[in-house]
Copies of this chain bind each other. A is one copy, B any other.
């Protein structure tokens, strides 16, 4: 787990070399060189990116990456050189193992930070003045912990994100080469886990407060002064705005965005982006089990009940609003 050496000879690769090594067809100059991996939106001319999900094709069309790994069907859509292969995600995963980002400049534990016995700080991590790392907590490779942060016992910052590309019915590990960046005055609760980014970083902005047993997946960004209660999970690449209040045991799916000043009540499920500040819920309240079971059985036929009401003329007679959900 040693940090990659900056400027190593094998820190840069020609596209022709990569195409041969990984069995890709090449569209573009075989002597063009890439040195790092990066996301399509941010990659520059020496960086390699990829596109696996055709829904993100617009990012491909605007990319300024040095090269991209693509399905052959998308070759024409790429404005830059492309390594073409049937499973671009898996191939990219393999290439990324050769192209790691450099470690952050200042590493080590500041003399005015407090590290309790039994905490584990990776050699390439950075812990700033005034930070306190609790007993048994782990700060992983390249993680950056800002001034005044409190990391409670058992928290794990910077473990590998959960990234696997399917290939032939098995899972190929996607190297997790990003890091975790934690701002100033952040509090991280006991046994909470914050994964390092896959490409790019997982970012916890200034003043964020995270309770216990929270999961923050790779490439998530939590906006400044947002507070999250215990047991909540945020899946990969989701962005949460500033000053949000997320209650306990909320599940937030990946690749969405919550705007600033959103409040989510306990145990809710968030599967879509939220674009308007306000209070949101989705957890049914408790009932006696027998009653709940009866109602839940009806829920399984709710669509049919609604159709029956409509057939009876209920749609017309409902005052105020006329829809019962058919359009959804």
Residues of B within 8 A of A3 (CB): none
Contact size range, A? 35 or more
Binary per-residue interface labels of chain A (166-209) against chain B in the complex, 1 for a CB within 8 Å, 0 otherwise? 00011101000000000000010111010100000000000101
When distances are taken between beta carbons in the complex, the residues of chain B under 8 Å from A308 are 309, 314-315, 317-318, 324
Whether, in the assembled complex, A303 has its beta carbon less than 8 Å from a beta carbon of chain B, the answer is yes
Query: CB within 8 A of A286: which of B229, B266, B282?
Result: B282
Assess whether A325 is interfacial by the CB under 8 Å rule.
yes
Q: Is the CB of B304 within 8 A of A302?
A: no
Alpha-carbon gap, A318 to B304, bound state (A): 7
Complex CA distance for A319 and B152, rounded to whole angstroms = 57
**Given A156-B191, A301-B325, 14 additional A-B pairs, CB 8 A:** A134-B159, A156-B212, A211-B215, A215-B248, A235-B266, A281-B289, A281-B292, A295-B299, A295-B301, A299-B299, A304-B323, A305-B318, A307-B320, A312-B314
Distance A140 CA – B189 CA, assembled complex (angstroms): 14
List of B residues within 8 angstroms of A311 by Cβ: 314, 317-319
A319 to B326 Cα, complex, angstroms: 14
A-B contacts, 17 of them at CB < 8 A, read A120-B136, A136-B156, A154-B156, A164-B209, A193-B213, A215-B248, A231-B251, A235-B248, A264-B286, A274-B286, A278-B288, A280-B287, A291-B303, A295-B299, A297-B303, A304-B324, A311-B314
Q: Is A129 an interface residue (CB 8 A)?
A: no
Find out whether the CB atom of A285 lies under 8 angstroms from the CB atom of B266. Answer: no
**Residue A284 contacts which of B269, B305, B323 (CB distance < 8 angstroms)?**
B269
List the 5 closest A-B pairs by CB distance, nearest first: A308-B314, A120-B135, A297-B328, A308-B318, A301-B325
Bitwise, A28-66 to B at CB < 8 A (1) or not (0) is: 000000000000000000000000000000000000000
Docked complex: A240-259 residues within 8 A CB-CB of B: 243, 248-249, 251, 253
Cα distance A170–B252 in the bound complex, in angstroms: 23
Is there contact, CB below 8 Å, between A294 and B303? yes
Flag if B229 contacts A162 (CB, 8 Å).
yes
* Most B Cβ at <10 Å: residue of A215, A288, A297: A215
Residues of chain B within 8 A of A193, CB atoms compared:
154, 189-191, 212-213, 230
In the complex, what's the smallest C-beta–C-beta distance from A109 to chain B, in angstroms?
Answer: 15
A136 touches which of B136, B169, B263 (Cβ 8 Å): B136
CA distance A317 to B283 in the complex (A): 30
Given the interface pairs A279-B288, A282-B292, A302-B298, the reply to whether A170 lies near B225 with Cβ below 8 Å is yes
A296 at the interface (CB under 8 A from B): yes
- Residue numbers in B under 8 Å from A274 (CB-CB): 286
- Is the Cβ of B317 less than 8 Å from the Cβ of A312? yes
**Shortest Cβ distance from A283 into B: residue:** B269
Chain B residue numbers with a CB within 8 Å of A282 are: 283-287, 292
